[in-house]
Amino acid sequence: MIQMVASRPATGEVSSCRDAYLSAYRWMLLGRILDEKFASLYRAGKIHGGVFIGRGQEALSVAIGQSLRKGDIFAPLIRDQAGRLAFGESVLEAARTYLGSVLGPMRGRDGNVHRGRPKEGYLPMISHLGAMIPVVNGMLLARRFKGIAGTVGATCLGEGGTSTGAFHEALNQAAVEKLPLVLIIANNQFAYSTPSSRQFACRSLVDRAAGYGVEGHSLDGTDLTACLKVVGEAVANARDGRGPQLVVARLLRLCGHGEHDDAGYVDTKLKQSPVGRDCLKVAGEYLVRQNWAERETLVAWRNEATQKVEEAIAKAQREPAPDPYTENWCALASKHLSEVYE
Amino acid sequence: MSITYLEAIRLAQKRALAEDPRVFIYGQDVGAFGGAFKATKNLAQEFPGRVIDAPISEDAMVGAAIGAAIEGMRPIIEMQFADFSTVGFNQIINQAAALHWRTQVPCPITIRLPSGGTSGGGPFHSQSMEAIYAHYPGLIVMTPATVEDAYSMLLEAVAIDDPVIFCEHKYLYYHLKADQLPTEAMPTGKARIARSGRDLTIVAYSAMVHEALAVAEELATEGTEVEVVDLRSIKPLDTDTVMASVARTGRLLCVGEAFPWGGVTAEVIARVASEGFGLLDAPPQRLNAKDTPVPYHPNLWAVHRPTARSIVVAARKLLRQ
């Protein structure tokens, strides 16, 4: 009896734990609905280029965005809508980029998931996997040079991205420099259509942590509680000067690689296995079971999020597209050094 | 006092470190060891913590430089050999070169590429990569041919708000000497008339400038006056100076140490042909390395790249036309 009481968190901890969970759930929900809206716009032919959504990865993603603070660095990947929102991106910013509004951060020069604000520590990914890791390292190194302590850099990758040389070089670099890097791997079982068995041969990717001399964590990426706890600890460890943290989550991508892909190659048995659980559904049920929210409240939150998304999309759709005739076709910051080819 | 091209590069870095706290150097063996060519000799001791040994990870080296630049630093990356920059190619062309266009955030990094052939260097320690980098929007590509330019252009590279590929020629490291460091410099993007003449223009850059000057010297004894244009930077490329020279001479020979397909010599000829066709008294010519990997043996290497011997043959042929 005494033991049970001792292991039960104090009241304050329960409420902060509950608040974090509720907040995370609502970001997940908003991310899911925004993703679904982009997917539907894609099917309606309203989006130029591809749409890449994070269905099934929201719990992991939101845990990253929510564990970071203002002043930290975040380099998300293609399935991190929930984490982006939790880190501070607005729905409008995402909508503007997907819809090519000239008022968006990328002004039509880059689109969809390739968006960010580098000066605010929010990096716009390039398509080459693993390539953002050393950029985060460099930002952290610069902060060390400038004597800025206590900030963390987090970046995300799928299990497929761990096969790149860039991943190896950058994780090793972070380890050598003992940087406060949190590298989150979503092992979502498929890199486009290639199963994990064709991607790596080790028992678990987290075993690689020892090889790099960094701390490793593994978790069930379908469980929001685990995501918040483990990712939160990894971020705290990095902030405490314990060097790079490698976090590996098991989950299943509940969508195609992009919306052009029906993911027909995913085995039904895998979808029905524990790894195939929908983290949003699991989190919603947990909220109800804990009496932290009523079912009606979840519905109300969904409606609220839908409303928010619709408004942002409608606004972005009315905004001007980039004008090729007034565009400044100059790639250099030093305009006087650019050559004119017309 | 005599200063080599290599020492000028070291001194430029020393000055950059001394004058700008945002500057740091990152590369393999650049720290206490002073670099494979000693271009950073004693700098780690003089500037503790700012000249940092990197693991053998060119991709991560460049990536980290980009991140540091986003945070306001001015990193100098030393590639041990230009040839190894291929491992960092993705970061250079897709991340560094594209960053300002995509985000309006400048990317002031300098990547030093010890370039070009030396005797015995072989296929993987001899390459001239400038044209590949010049192909990509968002990069500046410098190819200094003199001690003075090696010094002043490297300082300029660090000051420029864009990624600069600094192609320093290994053959010139020890061969080239100057009495003193320059106190003033030509602006980036401006070519230099290395020697004036009225009969033939040879456009060259980096080590080939000196081969061209040797040819000019030889032909002068026969009464032919060759004008040698040193491009200094190949991107931006000073078409005006080239065109003005061709207007004077009517004949153009472009010489480059890189492989023959495409490249700087082709670009120069394309520009002159399209904008200054009427200035030409003979078809413009180009001379490059052979279309094979760079050979190891000195006998082969001497013939693989253009030298005064092969350039003079091409020049004479062009003068007869």
> Residue A109 and residue B102: Cβ atoms within 8 Å?
yes
Across the interface, do A118 and B70 touch by the CB < 8 Å criterion?
A: yes
What average pLDDT does range B57-73 have in this prediction?
A: 98
Q: Do A331 and B188 touch (CB under 8 A)?
A: no
Interface of B with A in 111-130 (CB under 8 A): none
B137 at A interface, C-beta within 8 A:
yes
Flag if B102 and A133 touch (Cβ within 8 Å). Answer: no
Check B73 against A117: CB less than 8 A apart: no
Nearest C-alpha neighbor of A158 from the set A89, A88, A232, A61: A61
Q: What is the mean pLDDT of chain B?
A: 97
Q: Do B67 and A337 touch (CB under 8 A)?
A: no
Any A CB within 8 A of B106 CB: yes
CA dist., res. B166 & res. B142, Å (int): 5
Q: How far apart are the first and last CA of chain B?
A: 46
For strand B23-27 and strand B200-204, is the pairing parallel, antiparallel, or unpaired? unpaired
B71 vs A143: CB contact, 8 Å cut-off? Answer: yes
* Token representation of residue B192: 């230099």
- Please say whether the beta carbons of A208 and A180 come within 8 A: no
pLDDT in tens, B259-281: 999 999 999 999 999 999 999 99
Residue A338 corresponds to which amino acid?
Answer: S
| pLDDT tens digit sequence for B108-161 | 999 999 999 999 999 999 999 999 999 999 999 999 999 999 999 999 999 999
Set out the domains of chain B in order of their start, with CATH numbers.
3-178 (3.40.50.970), 192-320 (3.40.50.920)
Q: What is the pLDDT of residues A290-331, one digit of tens each?
A: 999 999 999 999 999 999 999 999 999 999 999 999 999 999
> Which are the catalytic amino acids of B?
125
d(CA B160, CA B155): 9
Tokens 């008022």 correspond to A103
Tell if the CB–CB gap between A138 and B107 is shorter than 8 Å.
no
N-terminal to C-terminal alpha carbon distance within chain A: 82
State the smallest CA–CA distance between residue A209 and chain B in angstroms. Answer: 18
Q: What is the pLDDT of residue A167?
A: 98
Nearest CA in chain B to A171: B60
Pairing of strands A194-195, A190-191: antiparallel
Strands B74-78 and B110-115: parallel
d(CA A208, CA A166): 15
| For A339, nearest residue in chain B (alpha carbons) | B236
Assess whether pLDDT exceeds 60 at residue B222: yes
A100, with CB counted inside 10 A (0-12, 13-18, 19+), is buried
Report the CATH number of the A11-318 domain.
3.40.50.970
Ranges of residues in chain A with a pLDDT under 70 are: 1-12
Residue B48 pLDDT greater than 50, yes or no: yes
- Burial label for B298, CB within 10 Å (0-12, 13-18, 19+), is exposed
Does the structure show a pLDDT above 80 at B1?
Answer: no
Helix (H) or strand (E) holding B77, with range, is strand B74-78
Which pLDDT score is estimated for A11?
Answer: 61
Chain A touched by B177 (CB under 8 Å): no
- Chain B residue with the nearest C-alpha to that of A338: B236
Q: Which tokens sit at B294?
A: 């760079």
Q: What is the pLDDT of residue A10?
A: 58
Closest CA–CA distance from residue A246 to any residue of chain B (Å): 17
Cα A72 from Cα A80, distance rounded (Å): 16
What pLDDT was estimated at residue A340?
84
Q: Could you tell me which of A68, A242, A142 has the C-alpha nearest to residue B63? A: A142
**B274: exposed, middle or buried (Cβ count in 10 Å: 0-12, 13-18, 19+):** exposed
Instruction: Quickly tell me which residue has 């042909």 as its tokens.
Output: B273
Please tell me the distance in Å from A125's CA to the nearest CA on chain B: 9
B103 touching A (Cβ < 8 Å): yes
Which residues numbered 94-123 in A keep a CB inside 8 Å of some CB on B?
105-106, 109-110, 114, 116-119, 123
| Residue extents of the structural domains in chain A | 11-318
Q: Which residue in the set B49, B64, B95 is minimally distant from A137, CB to CB?
A: B64
